[in-house]
Amino acid sequence: MLQNLGLFGLFLGCLLSATIIPFSSEALVAGALLLDYSPWTVILVATLGNTIGGMTCYLLGWLCKWSWIERFLKVKEETMAKASAKVEKYGSFAALLTWLPIIGDPIAIAMGLMRTRVVPTTVLMFIGKGVRYMVVAWLLNAIVL
């Protein structure tokens, strides 16, 4: 699939994987790297897509009531409690953790619910997600390429 859609497919896949649709964007990044796309292009495209997806979760938190999030997005109360605690403790710096599996999306939602500042949240989310993809590219290069 990725070979036919190229970088747009990578962008779209990474965007969707940062929303409530769970799948591995790391696998998409690895696939793009194995198809000989430029590592820096792959990292940038994946990071942009994943950050926009993460900010979509942030926007849901900003616009929705907690009861809607729990009901329609099926985010468990204990998961949101952990995420909210991280946001309360670290503020916008919690956005560095939005790449984490399971708790990353709830952190982004909690940041929206708690109305963290948009620009620092976006920049820090971009950095956290970008570092993750740099590590994936480095590991793939060290192991396979």
How many other C-beta atoms can be found within 10 angstroms of the C-beta atom of residue 12?
15
pTM: 0.88
pLDDT of residue 20: 66
> Residue type for 129, please?
K
- Give the chain's residues under pLDDT 50: 2
pLDDT of residue 2: 47
Q: Which domain holds residue 29?
A: 2-143
The total of structural domains in the chain comes to 1
Angle at 9 between CA 7 and CA 118, to 5 degrees: 85
